[in-house]
């Protein structure tokens, strides 16, 4: 984001003014801003899910009957008031 912003400012200062280059740099900056916002939101959701699933035990192992594949065992703690 910072590098693209620097390139955008440089393109704006360059004479003769190249509108296509400036437009391209503005689009790149907008893309980086959207991507940064998405990853910030994703990190927040990941943290929330991790906090909610605290104590959720999962175990991956081969099936007990000897078949090929994997078996997923889970236990969900349930609390009653």
Query: Residue 32 and residue 37: Cα distance in Å, rounded?
Result: 9
Q: What are the tokens at 70?
A: 């994997």
Region 57-68: mean pLDDT is 78
pLDDT at 12 over 80: yes
Do the beta carbons of residue 29 and residue 51 sit within 8 Å? Answer: no
pLDDT band at 75 (very low <50, low <70, confident <90, very high): confident
| pTM (two decimals) | 0.57
Query: Residue 49 and residue 71: Cα distance in Å, rounded?
Result: 23
Going 3 to 9 to 11 to 13, the CA torsion angle's sign is negative
């Amino acid at each position: 984001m910072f590098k693209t912003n620097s390139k955008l400012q440089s393109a704006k200062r360059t004479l003769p003014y190249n509108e296509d280059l400036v437009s391209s740099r503005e689009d790149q900056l907008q893309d980086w801003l959207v991507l940064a916002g998405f990853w910030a939101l994703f990190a927040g959701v990941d943290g929330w899910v991790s906090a909610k699933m605290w104590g959720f035990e999962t175990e991956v192992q081969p099936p007990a009957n000897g078949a090929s594949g994997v078996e997923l065992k889970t236990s969900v703690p349930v609390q009653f008031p």
